[in-house]
Amino acid sequence: MDTILCDELLQEIFHRLPLSSSSAVSAVSKRWLRVHRSSKTVLSLRLSPHNCTPPSLSTFLSHFPFLSSLSLTSPAVPDGDTAAFSDRLLLSAASSCPSLRHLRLSTGPISLFPLLSLSTSCPHLTSLSISLSRPLSLYWLALFHSLKDLFVVFTGEFVSDQFDSCFQQADAELKLETLGLTGIRQGDFGFAWLWRSCKKLKKLQLRSCEGIGDDASPSSFVNCLKGVEEVELRTCRTIVDEILLKLAENCTSLMSLLVYDGGSREGLRQFISRSRCDLQKLDLRLPLDLENNHLLAVAESFRGLSSLRLQSCCLVTGEGLRTIGLAMSYRLEELALINCDVVEREPGLLTTLGQCLRRLRKLDLSYNEMLVDKEFVSMIASCNYLSELKLRGCKGLTNAAMVLISKSCKNLESVDIMYCGGIKAEAVELFVMNCPRLRRVQVEESKISDVARSRASSKFIEVVV
């Protein structure tokens, strides 16, 4: 008889099992399967017409009474009617999981009707990630009263019968705090209402956007920026300058800015010199025109900066970075110079940075392939408080560098030395044995010796391969 452990005790144990044990536990008996399913709150389904039809999805999901997060993806889209397939999946999910809080659908664009149904059947939904096809409509958002995080990918071709802008919807009071939009194109309508209705936005993420909606006046967009603390702009080349200017002029709450692939010389300069916010984090990738002048201005304008991340900045020289180092010496806690050839070009630069930035906790020098031991070691000797170090793809570093890291950085908790061809297994072993606070190391499996592996497991060090 299978009654040694009651359902509650089985649950206690199931909660502590790794994902890899799910299959074995479910195969034990029908009771174990039922208890195991009801112990799950988070589920991802990879659907295809072969393993799942919308009605069978409904039945399947009804076995998971406590599901709060659900993600649906379908790698192979059924022929033809993808939109109808996603719509029916969403309807099934909505009706079977009333207590859902997080829902992500990557099965294809969704139309209006299932969204309306979702808003009534899952009233507690706080996070939603979907894709929508043109013509775009966003008014349904007003029906989701608990929604805080929204991520939408816009797809599809323009249709001649674009959105009717005479039909003016009254503004709503959306509770959205995080908004992530991908793929707004020039000629898209329907955004003025969205910008005007987002008064509580804390985080804005735009990806591959060419515009902010043709019907959106500058003032409506500015409305949503007022309280924003975090902005991320990825591959939005055509609108970066405009948004940076609006941020500089209207947003004093900004704490973190990320710009990947975009931002002109003048646009960046204007933002840095005119912004009145107290920026804490700045992350720039491939700002082709970023020069020393910009860094000087950053050092001057953003006195509270604690994190500076630069990736693939080719015009910056040692002078600019030294200025930053001197000006930020007691504040900067995170520095990333990823694939920045200045690191390799200017001997002594890293030494200076190490000596200036005494409070550095996180350092990322990944993909500086020509970086050699001598330069790196002279920096690391001064970075005694470092807790996180990333050296991924630094092919020029050797075993000697690892020895010095373990001598200088006694507080190190996490290290990434993936793709560092010059660092061999014996150095990894020595390092794992001699780093008292190490919690996580990322390195190729072939470089983990048996000794290093058993040390890692006895000290609860996570090895990521």
Partner 1 sequence: MASAPENEKNASAPEKKTLTLKSMINNEEFVVDEHVALQSVTIKNMVDSDCAGDVIPVPTISGEILALVIEYCKNHANPSASEDDLKKADAGIVAKDIYTLIDLVLAANFLDIKGLLEVTSQKIADSIKDLPHQDVREIFGVENDYTPEEEAAVRAEHDWAFEGFP
Q: In terms of CB distance, is 50 or 160 closer to partner 1?
A: 50
Whichever of 24 and 84 has its CB closer to partner 1, that residue is: 24
Establish if 104 lies at the interface with partner 1 (CB under 8 A): yes
Residues 70-99 that bind partner 1 (CB under 8 A): 71
Binding mask 403-432 for partner 1 (x = CB under 8 A): ------------------------------
- Given its phi and psi angles, is residue 235 left (phi above 0), alpha (psi -120 to 50 degrees) or beta? left
User: Which stretch, 12-20, 91-99, 226-234, 444-452, contacts partner 1 (CB under 8 A)?
Assistant: 12-20
Give least dist CB 145 to partner 1, A.
23
Asked if residue 454 binds partner 1 (CB under 8 A), the reply is: no
Judge contact between 357 and 332, C-beta under 8 A.
yes
Q: Considering the rule CB under 8 A, would residue 258 count as an interface residue with partner 1?
A: no
Asked if residue 178 binds partner 1 (CB under 8 A), the reply is no
Q: Considering the rule CB under 8 A, would residue 166 count as an interface residue with partner 1?
A: no
Cβ atoms of residues 208 and 234 within 8 Å:
yes
Sign of CA dihedral 414, 418, 423, 424: positive
Residue 45 or 400 with smaller CB distance to partner 1: 45
What sign does the dihedral 105-111-116-121 (CA atoms) show? negative
Residue 62 makes contact with partner 1 by CB under 8 A: no
The one among 34, 35, 38, 52 contacting partner 1 by CB under 8 A:
52
Give the CA distances from residue 313 to residues 180, 292, 295, 379, in Å, rounded to whole numbers and listed in that order.
26, 10, 11, 20
Amino acid at 106: S
Q: Closer CB to partner 1, residue 76 or residue 288? A: 76
Contacts (CB under 8 A) with partner 1, residues 15-44? 15-33, 40, 42-44
Nearer to partner 1, 40 or 200 (CB): 40
List 34, 46, 185, 207, residue binding partner 1 (CB under 8 A): 46
Nearer to partner 1, 29 or 253 (CB): 29
Q: What is the rounded distance in angstroms from the CA atom of residue 62 to the CA atom of residue 415?
A: 43
Provide the minimum distance between the beta carbon of 71 and partner 1 in the complex, in angstroms, as a whole number: 5
CB of 85 to partner 1, least distance (A): 15
- Of 272, 220, 273, 275, nearest to 247 (Cα)? 275
Burial class of residue 27 (count of CB atoms within 10 Å of its CB; 0-12, 13-18, 19+): exposed
Minimum Å distance from CB 439 to partner 1? 15
The one-character DSSP state at 15 is T
- Range 268-295 burial, b when 16+ CB lie within 10 A, else e: bbbbbeebebebbbbbbbbbeebbbbbb
Task: Give helix 7-14 / helix 30-38 axis angle, nearest 10°.
Answer: 60
- Does residue 185 interact with partner 1 by CB under 8 A? no
CA 52 – CA 241 distance, rounded (Å):
46
Residues in contact with partner 1 by CB under 8 A are: 1-2, 4-6, 8-9, 12-33, 40, 42-48, 51-52, 60, 69, 71, 102, 104
